[in-house]
Structure 1
Amino acid sequence: MSGTRRRQIGNEERRGRLARRQLRAVGRCEEVADALVALHATDPATVFLTVAARLREPGDGVGALEEALYGETGSLVRMLAMRRTMFVVGRAAAPGVYAAAGRQIAAKERKGLLAFLAEGGGWDEAWLEDVEARVRAALDAHGETSGAGLSKLVPELREQVLVAAGKPYEARQNVASRIIRTMAAEGRIERRRPAGSWTSSQFRWANAEPLPEVPVAEARAGVVKAWLGAYGPGTAADLKWWTGWSLTEVRKALAAVGAEEVPLDGNAVGHVLPGDAGPSADAPPPAATLLPALDPTPMGWRERDWFLPREHRASLFDRSGNVGPTVWWGGEVIGGWAHRADGAVAWRLLADRGARAADAVGAAAERLSAFLADGGVTVTPRFRTPLERELSA
């Protein structure tokens, strides 16, 4: 291809691709998960709001998503994966995601747990294996059980470890949370229906079926292929950030899928799937969309200037890089929103896109307020941002 000038994909076209691929209305929650590759699930409410924002009939979203997560079909799975973050992925994609990212994270979790137990309580690997066997036996005998219930059934989970000894913030910590977290990271147990509403993070637990084995290189190529299909074009730095892999690992996966390089605005080099470098279909007419904190779309890239002006970052992100609730007009962020205690969805535009956009945002906020009222919940993000705090006051 030397001597052949590659077509540049500019920011406007990238925003059009984003709107068409990630903000389009679909009929099923599984379609949302596939379109976004993985749904951020650190905050349980995010998963439901991410899906509701993209369903043609959002009122059906809570029940459908609960069935997909906890019902007999089990078409969606929660797992610790990229960047040591909790995600929800399609069950068919779960083995590849686990092999590509989750397995290495689970190994680090186990190593850290063993060090934690040895230093804090003098317990060794044999002790841990015995406790884990008791946990699985308890779940076999009693079915879905809360963390507190497991601690009653397996007394060893109530053992405590002194953390930060000698420091002003030293504290005693039960070993239960670390043991359960590690077992879940390894796919030996799984989160089931929460004890409370869909915004609750107090999950019940159940034994899980082991995931099929997938070779790491094949799994990473599969994840990169899915990401490029949803987020491309993106840079190697974007993929490195999103996956948590090294740049070498990212480049190997890009080569494995035959990714094509394309020039981007700002002299950056992006990557797309083979055959995806040509002109894309026309962008859909701009529409207003209210996305929740930690939604996969604003969290999908490391470099976000092409859809979110840098001057708005301080209002919409916390200091750790977690995005708050965002207001979208087409493929760009134009403001933020918050859910107030009185049930209203308050919003503010940070960019003026005219009366039509403002009216559409207002209508979208009313629909979201009604959806949350029907669910009987007030949504406060786990990681709060300056604009969200101000609007919710």
Structure 2
Amino acid sequence: MPARPTIDDDQRRARLALRHRLAPGARADRAEQVVDDLVAVHATDPATVFLAVSARLASPGTADTERALYRDCSILRRHGMRGTLFAIPAGLAPALYASTTAKAVARERARLLKDFAASGRDAGWTAQVEAAVRAALADSPVELTGSQLGELVPQLRETIVYGAGTSYQTEQSISMRLLRLLGMEGSIVRRRPVGGWTSSQHRWALGPAAPEQPTAAERAYAQRELARRWLARYGPATEDDLVWWTGWGVREVRTALAGCAAVEVELAGGATGFVLPEDLEPVTAPAPWAALLPALDPTAMSGKHRDWYLSPAHRPELLDRSGNLGPTVWWNGRIIGAWAQRPDGEVVFHLLEDPGREARDAITAEAATLRLTLADARVTPRFRTPLERRLTA
């Protein structure tokens, strides 16, 4: 039996630099190019989308991302992998829904109907409120906030008791639960926020009718296509990485990898990775590069196994208690520190190892560029890490 091809950590870092548009010569001209190459950008924290894209543009800034999100709608916010909100290329929406979101929507709708029924609101009542929300958005000449929708559809202002009789009993608004579900389905869509680009209070607009639940064959096809797209940008990667990123079951991931005709390769330490069959040739390493990437950046959060770019010794400083990565400093494909923005707007960083003068100069230049991009905006990550907190103190 012939030996498996080997792809070492240096080659993985070279691929990451080029395919994630982090090396200077690989920077993009438009936001759509960046999001397409990253497949999906975490959008739980609104600032992540703008800063992740800006770090990969030849001319850094937030204006082109605003254009793509709010004028051209070529980038959409959608719930996807692991039930998380992402910014995705508009063309990916059908595959994302069929492969991943539809199952989450079915679970969420079942929970919502159960919780609403417990408070005396049956499925017919829920359907009437949904129809009223869509009608309000259809009749409005402008996009509407949740509060404005509540003025037009008073049922949204009502509350239910969640977890009655338990230690976690709390009140939840109908608006919070129902608008989230409709947003997951895509029948209403998040548009320009109230305030600046760091705001998470979005206005809503009417979207298309919610898609039908996919058949098993449609789901399998969509999973194969999403896996192929991800592997082209993040491979080589392990089966565990794809399980973690997608939130699919192991059997689903194995079926998707087989459908892609993914090829086994040997990674550092003897682990088994996968690449697409046309992706076995080595790539040429780019010139040295530095980057300051935001919290939850998709490159940093790309998989379960991260030792090849994140030293285990650095993890306690850079991750929160749930394993979310905060703002990171990169040098040649490795995370070597963190950055933060202080209340006066200054961008500061701390390195957890000494990378040498060339690296320090390049990182300082990236920090200066980031400060210009931020301008008057102030960014505090939603998921804060020990080092980021200390840097802002």
Contact 1:327–1:334 (CA<8 Å) still a contact in 2? yes
**Aligned to 1:290, what secondary structure does the other structure show?**
strand
Contact 1:318–1:324 (CA<8 Å) still a contact in 2? yes
**Aligned to 1:358, what secondary structure does the other structure show?**
helix
Distance 2:124 2:221 in 1: 34
Alpha-carbon deviations, 1:151-180, whole Å to 9, x = none?
Answer: 110011111112344567643221111000
**C-alpha displacement at 1:124, in angstroms?**
1.0
- Corresponding residue number in structure 1 for 2:70: 70
- Specify which of 224, 243, 248 is matched with residue 245 of structure 1: 248
- Corresponding residue number in structure 2 for 1:386: 386
Q: In the alignment, is residue 277 of structure 1 matched against residue 280 of structure 2? A: yes
**C-alpha displacement at 1:342, in angstroms?**
0.9
Contact 1:38–1:88 (CA<8 Å) still a contact in 2? yes
**C-alpha displacement at 1:46, in angstroms?**
0.4
Distance 2:11 2:78 in 1: 33
- Corresponding residue number in structure 2 for 1:355: 357
Q: In the alignment, is residue 321 of structure 1 matched against residue 323 of structure 2? A: yes
**C-alpha displacement at 1:211, in angstroms?**
7.3
Letter of the 1:7 partner, please give it.
P
The 5 Å alignment of 1:1-393 reads 3-22=1-20, 23=22, 24-59=26-61, 62-71=62-71, 73-119=72-118, 121-142=119-140, 143-166=142-165, 170-210=169-209, 215-278=218-281, 280-373=282-375, 376-393=376-393
Per mean C-alpha deviation after superposition, the further-off stretch among 12-21 and 302-311 is 12-21
Distance 2:260 2:164 in 1: 49
- Structure 1 residues 371 and 167, CA, compared in 2 at 3 Å: closer, same or farther? same
**Aligned to 1:58, what secondary structure does the other structure show?**
coil
Contact 2:187–2:208 (CA<8 Å) still a contact in 1? yes
Point out 4+ residue stretches in structure 1 off by more than 3 angstroms: 164-171, 210-214
Distance 1:131 1:370 in 2: 45
Contact 2:239–2:273 (CA<8 Å) still a contact in 1? yes
Contact 1:95–1:211 (CA<8 Å) still a contact in 2? no
**C-alpha displacement at 1:210, in angstroms?**
4.2
Contact 2:262–2:277 (CA<8 Å) still a contact in 1? yes
Distance 1:187 1:165 in 2: 30
Name the Cα RMSD after superposition: 1.4
Letter of the 2:247 partner, please give it.
G
Contact 1:286–1:331 (CA<8 Å) still a contact in 2? no
Contact 1:340–1:391 (CA<8 Å) still a contact in 2? yes
Letter of the 1:144 partner, please give it.
E
**Aligned to 1:239, what secondary structure does the other structure show?**
helix
Letter of the 1:268 partner, please give it.
A
TM-score, normalised by the number of residues in structure 2: 0.95
Q: What number of residue pairs does the alignment pair up?
A: 384
Letter of the 1:385 partner, please give it.
T
Letter of the 1:132 partner, please give it.
E
Distance 1:336 1:110 in 2: 39
**C-alpha displacement at 1:209, in angstroms?**
2.0
Structure 1, unpaired ranges of 5+: none
**Aligned to 1:103, what secondary structure does the other structure show?**
helix
Alpha-carbon deviations, 1:192-219, whole Å to 9, x = none?
Answer: 1101100000000011024777721111
Alpha-carbon deviations, 1:52-85, whole Å to 9, x = none?
Answer: 00000013xx2221121111x3111110000100
Contact 1:81–1:98 (CA<8 Å) still a contact in 2? yes
Contact 1:262–1:269 (CA<8 Å) still a contact in 2? yes
**Aligned to 2:91, what secondary structure does the other structure show?**
coil
Structure 2, unpaired ranges of 5+: none
Alpha-carbon deviations, 1:204-252, whole Å to 9, x = none?
Answer: 0011024777721111011101111100000000000000000100000
- Structure 1 residues 210 and 332, CA, compared in 2 at 3 Å: closer, same or farther? farther
Letter of the 2:232 partner, please give it.
G
Distance 1:149 1:74 in 2: 22
